[in-house]
Amino acid sequence: MSFCDRLAIPESLLRVKVDEPIRFADGLLDFEEDVVVLRSFSYVSHTADAQTWEMHRLVQTATLVWLEGHGRLDEVRERFVHHLRNAFPTGQFANWPVCRILFPHAKSTAEQKPVNPSALIQWASVMYHSAWYALEQGDLNDALGTATAAITARSQQLGAEHESTLWSIAMVVSTYRSQGRWKEAEELEVKVMETRVRVLGGEHPDTLNSMANLAATYWNQGRWKEAEDLISEAAEASGRVLGKTNPDTLGRTYAFHQIGRHDDSQPVKKCCDATEE
């Protein structure tokens, strides 16, 4: 509880499985017994929802001090990060109810960066998923902050060219685009695309996705010809690799036509034979 946001702490986050005891370094403590003790001293209390808890601010602070004094701070922090990583889903629409409950605790975790490399990778995943949810909710400042934190941690632990690092950069790009910061978005998108071309190959699906995103950024800056050339290349390769009827291929073909209509110097034309009959 000490690493959570002190309000509305979901019980599901406090135990791996219901009624399964949690093992600490100095013995076996049962969750239910612990809660009885904490409630008897009014250290924690149920909210209106019987499945969530609140912890007094002073109790939370005192517990952190106690853990640090007994050399247990890193151990418990890492366990909490592990549980939160397993509980926090992606930011897709279907997951919003769960994300909404866990998001305050992810924000609290942003200030509790672990030292252990494996825990740090899990922490970065929490940051990435929380950035995804924040972006979907239009909370652009939180999205940018947590996505940037994920980039830093993943670059350190996995490398600058690791796919997880590139996805974190792409999350920052999406945030920049939502803020209308097209030039900054373009610079990062070019970096991601060039890295994927070098590491994954020019026709890897992730590379093609980067090409399509960069084309959209060109389009939003009124750079019709650059956008048209790039989306045409992505559509051709997508047709070869994914098939003519693949949703991504069809989407890129449609985007090609839409971009062409905005380029007065270029007539609207069919996409390449690889993507259209």
Say yes or no to pLDDT of 183 above 80.
Answer: yes
pLDDT at 64: 78
Percent of residues, the chain, with pLDDT higher than 90: 61
Angle subtended at Cα 17 by Cα 11 and Cα 18, rounded to the nearest 5 degrees:
60
pLDDT at 19: 40
In one-letter notation, the amino acid at residue 255 is A
Backbone angles phi, psi at 29, to 5 degrees: -115, 130
> Which band of pLDDT confidence, cut at 50, 70 and 90, is reported for residue 181?
very high
Write down the pTM of the prediction: 0.81
Residues constituting the chain: 277
Say yes or no to pLDDT of 171 above 50.
Answer: yes
The model's pLDDT over 18-56, given as tens digits with 9 standing for 90+, comes to 344 444 444 445 666 666 666 665 666 666 665 676 777
pLDDT at 58: 79
The model's pLDDT over 192-211, given as tens digits with 9 standing for 90+, comes to 999 999 999 999 999 999 99
Angle subtended at Cα 51 by Cα 145 and Cα 5, rounded to the nearest 5 degrees:
25
In one-letter notation, the amino acid at residue 242 is L
Q: From the CA atom positions of the chain, what is the Rg in Å?
A: 24
- Distance from C-alpha of 47 to C-alpha of 53, rounded to nearest angstrom: 6
The model's pLDDT over 55-91, given as tens digits with 9 standing for 90+, comes to 777 777 787 788 889 998 899 899 889 989 999 999 9
